[in-house]
Structure 1
């Protein structure tokens, strides 16, 4: 049995669909942990076991992990969390204990690039995510951390600005080329690991996208796909602080985002060489055609 956390999220939802398609005739049993079962697709609910609650709750985790062979682990966003350690490792501690208690064999988690880089210890959310990986690995479970760069899909948060102002913002230099990955490719990587559990030990699995692109490159491609000029405007970290605080995010988490973005501009995502195994397939142009353009037109 495979247990999926965050089954209605960008990655977890896509993963659930992939696994349902792959296991349509026999194969793996699927179980999800979800706060609101009503958000699950109707067709999915009839084919999966649903555990209602938070996967940070020890009692919920005990019920969900009983009889589980593998777990897909994602820490949910908590904009009002008290600390980054509480948001990542604190949230995961009940699950880490339950991996051992219930004899879970394999865990796949969503994490980040940066391990081994000079800035990894001062990268806010990424630093906390890497510490969470260490916590999971310390249980002795076979673990694969999906080491991701910035998600392409994060641009959807700026759909209104792209549509109404022809502009998107960020804090990295306009000509700095970095990897980006589509969440659909991250889900596909997770599905492959969960369905073929021949791997052992602990390791990272980079999901880097097919090419490195700068914000200027992104603006050029968006302009071509949308048929109108789109430009990039670089924000200062202080400007980003104001935006995040205005969204109600606590000071500790705001600082975590600022530290992460500063680390990205200083090479956080540059430490892993792209190989055929790490080069996930979805191009930025394809993502714009498939995801961004319909969102802007809507």
Structure 2
């Protein structure tokens, strides 16, 4: 049978496809433009998106397990519910869904609340599911690497509570392992949630300190100005999204993204190797 990977050309989805491909899985990747997908040779690509019902029906035909990942967009919940309803129509019973850590707590943050709604619909529709709840992606900081390197400032207002940042490659590999576990099961498996975290819980000053060590020169933490953060983001994204990101940053500062006891050990055992650290990411970019 076949695993359908949505979001297959994005930050996490590419890692999911590669991890499945390395393990010899039958994969179908959903992409708007197959010519630009850039996925491994031999991976079947289905053309379409979540709101193209006919294309989604075709993409889901013959699929046994669904990896559901949709972007932060105004109609994120609608997209997910269209996909889930079409999956159920196609007889797909198993889902791995990429949600977010603290989706049930950060309910004032639009994209967190949206992912919680999708989690609840997955449960209500009776799918056998693994809900993945990752913390802040280490890879998000690719967008600020030039600022760090050229201006000596780490600009993300992460605050002082700490975020257990995780590498996108680790997320993708965990997702692939869960997809294969459900795909290969002889019978129904219970649904579960996995909190995905990295090896360290880092504050804004901690991250600036890592960059200082990697670059060999001082890097300052820009501070906790979420209003200024919103205004900066409005230069590169729509105002609604910039406001969403500001609300998220405010919860970083009041709550953090803190793992529960055993979260890291569970992931390390699942992967069979250490989780990738922020320092490895920063050193790779600096090199």
The answer to whether TM tops 0.5 is: yes
For the residue of structure 1 that corresponds to 2:207, the secondary structure is helix
2: CA distance, partners of 1:203 / 1:123: 23
Within the candidate set 237, 243, 260, 1:272 is matched to 260
Q: Which runs of 5+ in 1 are unaligned?
A: none
Equivalent of 2:34 in 25, 37, 57:
37
Question: Hey, what's the Cα distance between the residues in 2 that align with 1:213 and 1:13?
Answer: 26
Q: Does 1:22 align with 2:47?
A: no
Q: How does 1:233-244 map to 2 (within 5 A)?
A: 233-244=222-233
Pick from 249, 254, 258: which aligns with 2:246?
258
1:281 maps to what in 2?
Answer: 275
> What's the CA shift for 1:271?
6.3
Aligned positions of 1:88-237 closer than 5 A: 88-117=76-105, 120-173=106-159, 175-197=160-182, 198=185, 200-237=189-226
Residue 179 of structure 1 aligns to a residue whose secondary structure is: coil
Higher alpha-carbon deviation: 259-268 or 103-112: 259-268
Shift of 1:39: 2.4
Q: Bigger shift: 191-200 or 7-16?
A: 191-200
Contact 1:2 1:72 in 2 (8 A): yes
Question: In structure 2, how many angstroms separate the alpha carbons of the residues matched to 1:204 and 1:225?
Answer: 35
Structure 1: which 4+ aligned runs deviate by more than 6 Å? none
Q: Distance in 2 between matches of 1:156 and 1:36?
A: 24
Any residues of structure 2 matched to 1:66-105 within 5 Å, and which?
A: 66-78=61-73, 81=74, 86=75, 88-105=76-93
Q: Please, which runs of 5 or more residues in structure 2 have no aligned partner?
A: 269-273
Q: So what's the TM-score if we normalise by structure 1?
A: 0.86
2:30–2:45 contact (8 Å) kept in structure 1? yes
The 3 A distance-change label for structure 1 pair 141 and 268 is farther
Partner of 2:57: 62
- Helix, strand or coil for the counterpart of 1:196? helix
**Matched residues in 1 for 2:30 and 2:201: separation?**
35
Q: More relative contact order in 1 or in 2 (CA 8 Å, sep 6+)?
A: 1
Deviates more, 1:271-280 or 1:159-168: 271-280
For the residue of structure 2 that corresponds to 1:178, the secondary structure is coil
